[in-house]
Amino acid sequence: MYELKQISEKCYYINCPAKIGVYVRDKDHVYLVDSGNDKNVGRKVRQILDGNGWQLAAILNTHSNADHIGGNHYLQGQTGCKVYSGGMEAAFTEYPILEPSFLYGGYPCKDLRHKFLMAQESDVSHFYEAGFPEEIAVIPLPGHFFDMVGFRMPDGVVFLADCISSRETLEKYAVSFIYDVGAYLETLDMVEGMEAAMFVPAHAEVSANVRELVGYNRNKVHEVAERILSICGKPVCFERILQEVFQGYGLVMNFEQYVLVGSTVRSYLSWLKDKGELTAEFQENMLLWQRI
């Protein structure tokens, strides 16, 4: 864990739970793709940089989930590097309380205000601002989170962030976090047709071909959608749907899983309603969902 792996002449990744990309323009201009989940990871990253005589110029954040921006604060404080982000992700990175607040749907209790869901704040520059390395292409990858992006490096290495999960992860957890199901499926279609020298997903193995894994992720989305529809054979409230999703996939509920899976199930319900496959009605002051 936390070994530096070389992919191409100038591109590397640090092998950790959410892979950290490294692009070495030259020893005085090194760019990270994300920064891990906390300051301890930040320290390990800095040791790797120092050990290679590399100067950190900036962190390029794919999105604002805490496991991708958790090292920002430490590394920015230690090196003075810039942190680049965009759209809604920039706001969440500057104000990390937004992540647990969004997931919970209100002010989060202490059980949700911790490093796994709430990073420390960063000073953020936007991708369009001066200093962003012009040779790096920003690739919109919406769906998993609001304005998630990937990055294509000059040598054709593409960092894919969280747009695909490994088979092992999906077999274990089944319901991967998705904010916008329709946008996520469109992103999968786009990635399936993409060419690259090498793909680096944050939560799957590095590979020159991700088409099969993209297909597996797509199939899992449709499987989860069909399970939700089957639960809604008669009018049912959200909490009952969530309970049956947890029980059906053998998941264990705690505060983190409640908000992560719960937010995702709500996104599925919205998508299915907008597609005309579910109705939503208020009965006796309760919102009930039913398959059409």
Q: Are the CB atoms for 93 and 70 separated by under 8 Å?
A: no
Say what the pLDDT of residue 212 is: 98
Distance, CA of 198 to CA of 192 (rounded, Å): 13
Question: Token pair for residue 239?
Answer: 């909490």
User: Order of strands across the sheet with 286-291?
Assistant: 236-237, 286-291, 278-283
> CB under 8 Å to 172, separation ≥6 — which residues?
none
Distance, CA of 268 to CA of 111 (rounded, Å): 25
Q: Where are the domains of the chain?
A: 1-134, 231-291
Q: What is the reported pTM?
A: 0.97
> CB under 8 Å to 84, separation ≥6 — which residues?
58, 59, 60, 61, 124, 125, 126, 127, 129, 132
Find tokens 């989940």 and name the residue.
Answer: 37
User: Which is it for the CA torsion 122, 127, 129, 130, positive or negative?
Assistant: positive
Find tokens 């199939």 and name the residue.
Answer: 219
How is domain 231-291 classified at the architecture level of CATH?
A: Orthogonal Bundle (1.10)
Could you report the per-residue pLDDT of 272-282, keeping only the tens digit for each? 999 999 999 99
Distance, CA of 54 to CA of 26 (rounded, Å): 8
Say what the pLDDT of residue 251 is: 97
Percent of the chain beyond pLDDT 70? 100
Find tokens 């990309």 and name the residue.
Answer: 21
Distance, CA of 158 to CA of 174 (rounded, Å): 25
Distance, CA of 69 to CA of 37 (rounded, Å): 6
Cα-Cα-Cα-Cα torsion 106, 237, 175, 255, nearest 10 degrees, comes to 40
Find tokens 């916008």 and name the residue.
Answer: 180
Q: At what angle do helices 238-249 and 211-231 cross, to 10 degrees?
A: 130
Class of domain 1-134: alpha beta
Q: Are the CB atoms for 283 and 234 separated by under 8 Å?
A: no
Q: Are the CB atoms for 191 and 141 separated by under 8 Å?
A: yes
Question: Max Cα separation, the chain?
Answer: 66
Say what the pLDDT of residue 11 is: 98
pLDDT classification of 292: cutoffs 50, 70, 90: very high
Question: Token pair for residue 226?
Answer: 């069909």
Percent of the chain beyond pLDDT 90? 100
Mean pLDDT of the chain: 98
Could you report the per-residue pLDDT of 232-280, keeping only the tens digit for each? 999 999 999 999 999 999 999 999 999 999 999 999 999 999 999 999 9
